[in-house]
Amino acid sequence: MATDIDEQLVTHDIDAYLYPIYLPGKAEGKYMARTKSGTPLSVENVCAAAVERGGVTMSYNDLVRCVKAYLHEASYQLTDGFAIENGYIGIYPKIGGTFDSSHAHINPEENRIEFGFRALKPLRDLAAHVKIHLRGLADVEGHIYEVEDSFSGSINHILTPDEDVIINGDKIELAGEDASCGVYWFNESGEFKVTHKLVKNSPSELIVRLPALSAGVYQLKIRTQFSHKGVTLKTPREILSDAKFEVQ
């Protein structure tokens, strides 16, 4: 397998697109760059890439088995309260919410275990060798940047049924009288699940309660008549997420 020095000599290329910033403040009227991340790579995807690039001294199946065994044990240790650092990423358990007094009791709804992630120095060093290519203005008719599962902290990957998800994007506010407007989760069978409960509804952020989805892989679609401040479209438009989401 390539050494750390060899890896740092490789220049990586990432395509990015520009999105207008509408939030009030110093950045209003400017643009932000976002990568098109697509569907996150699975353990199998990464292991296949490692074998294809060469240098791996074990078979693909053995590599997948070892990685999954490590991840299983790391998760076990995290839930025992230990922080995990694998050389590139640090994962740290923490307790969410606040307490009213020094004698307070745990509130299961507010004081849940959460996990924070931090890039360690080797990964930060590799980032210095990334070349960003701006590919111009993205589709400004509406875009979903990322979806965060509030329970697990997973972004653009894991969903937890009956928990809130935070959807960040551009022109995603639900507006209009058309009955089809809403937030949809759909799977490969074409079954649509519509989220009715909205915790927050703004042009750049939606917080919605995920329905009781069964296990599987889903995509997210938003149908809205929102255009810009105070203006609604005659017919709804659809905004489809690039990422696919897994309900376990």
Reply yes or no on whether the pLDDT at 6 is more than 60.
Answer: no
Give dist(CA 204, CA 241) in Å, integer.
Answer: 14
pLDDT at 2 over 60: no
Q: What is the pLDDT of residue 7?
A: 55
Q: What is the pLDDT of residue 61?
A: 97
Which CATH class, in words, describes the domain spanning 4-134? Answer: few secondary structures
SS3 224: strand
Q: Is 204 in contact with 176 (CB distance < 8 Å)?
A: no
For the chain, give every domain's residue range.
Answer: 4-134, 142-247
| 229 has a pLDDT exceeding 70 | no
Whether 4-134 shares its CATH topology with 142-247 is answered no
Rounded CA separation 95/146 (Å): 24
Higher pLDDT, 107 or 63: 63
Helix (H) or strand (E) holding 245: strand 245-247
pLDDT in tens, 78-90: 999 999 999 999 9
The model's confidence at residue 8, banded by pLDDT at 50, 70 and 90, is low
Q: What is the pLDDT of residues 88-125, one digit of tens each?
A: 999 999 998 899 999 999 988 789 888 999 999 999 99
Rounded to whole angstroms, the Cα distance separating 149 from 70 reads 23
| Band (30; pLDDT cuts 50, 70, 90) | confident
What rounded mean pLDDT belongs to the chain? 86
What is the C-alpha to C-alpha distance for residues 107 and 96, in angstroms, rounded to an integer? Answer: 10
Per the structure block, which two tokens stand in for 127?
């980032």
CATH class of 142-247: mainly beta
The model's pLDDT over 191-215, given as tens digits with 9 standing for 90+, comes to 777 766 788 898 889 999 988 888 8
